[in-house]
Amino acid sequence: MAILILHGYFRSSAAWRVRIALALKGLGVTDVFHHLRKGEQRSADYLALNPQGLLPTLELNDGTALTQSMAILEYLDETHPEPPLLPTDPVARAQVRAVGQAVACDIHPVQNLKVLKRLRDLGHDEAQVQAWAAWVIKEGLDAVERMLAGGAGPFAFGDRPTLADIVIVPQLANARRFGVEVRWPRLLAIEAACLDLDAFRTTAPAMQPDAE
């Protein structure tokens, strides 16, 4: 059987989400790396695959290209349902998705290189750019901590990782990269539980072949 192809970059937190899900589900993948800081994601060949010029892209066995990490995660869960990334109960599913989207839609985009470059182009100096990104992370993760307060189990929603955990762990790594004090007890406990699993450890940025 043909192997899935994952287009990514070691430090892309969105690509890390997909690596985690693939590992949890035991799916083999061939990695193709695109160096974001060198602009390799803007090459004509890659734009033909992903018109947004963003990472990751998952190429399926028939050549279909899937983009946007959250859509890819749900595709993987629908086509390879074990272990599940979403609960069966509709309310619980909505709650897991809400945490995932709080990170993927409201926090993470501000650390996107394209967004940060635009801020610099508008005349903001590096200290202002970094401070704004850090503020968004702190404000956003404060809310996620409250969303998960009082939850049972070592993971965000019980005794096994879900889509929520898959987005939280890379975002905490991003927080540290931007110099944010990681001061959220519930999120730190979730991270520790996740990093006990090979699927999170082996897919971390520092473990990737293109790591610098």
Q: What is the DSSP letter of 3?
A: P
Q: What is the pTM of this model?
A: 0.95
pLDDT for position 38:
95
Which single residue is written with the structure tokens 């450890």? 201
pLDDT for position 114:
85
Q: What's the rounded Cα separation, in Å, for the pair 184 and 148?
A: 11
Q: What's the rounded Cα separation, in Å, for the pair 17 and 6?
A: 12
Q: Which fold has domain 4-83?
A: Glutaredoxin (3.40.30)
Tally helices (H) and strands (E) across the chain. 9, 4
State yes or no: pLDDT of 1 exceeds 50: no
Query: pLDDT of 134-190, one tens digit each?
Result: 999 999 999 999 999 988 889 999 999 999 999 999 999 999 999 999 999 999 999
Query: pLDDT of 16-35, one tens digit each?
Result: 999 999 999 999 999 999 99
pLDDT for position 32:
97
Which H helix or E strand runs over 32?
A: strand 29-33
Q: What is the DSSP letter of 180?
A: -
**CATH architecture of structural domain 90-199:** Up-down Bundle (1.20)
Q: What's the rounded Cα separation, in Å, for the pair 164 and 157?
A: 8
Residue 3 — pLDDT band, cuts 50, 70, 90?
confident
Query: pLDDT of 21-74, one tens digit each?
Result: 999 999 999 999 999 999 999 999 999 999 999 999 999 999 999 999 999 999
Q: What's the rounded Cα separation, in Å, for the pair 194 and 165?
A: 7
What are the residue ranges of CATH 3.40.30.10 in the chain? 4-83
Closest CA to 194 of 10, 24, 22, 6: 24
Q: What's the rounded Cα separation, in Å, for the pair 141 and 72?
A: 23
pLDDT for position 77:
98
pLDDT for position 210:
97
Neighbours of 168 (CB within 10 A): 28
What are the residue ranges of CATH 1.20.1050.10 in the chain? 90-199
State yes or no: pLDDT of 201 exceeds 50: yes
For 65, list phi and psi in degrees, rounded to 5.
-105, 125
Query: pLDDT of 74-113, one tens digit each?
Result: 999 999 999 999 999 999 999 999 999 999 999 999 888 8
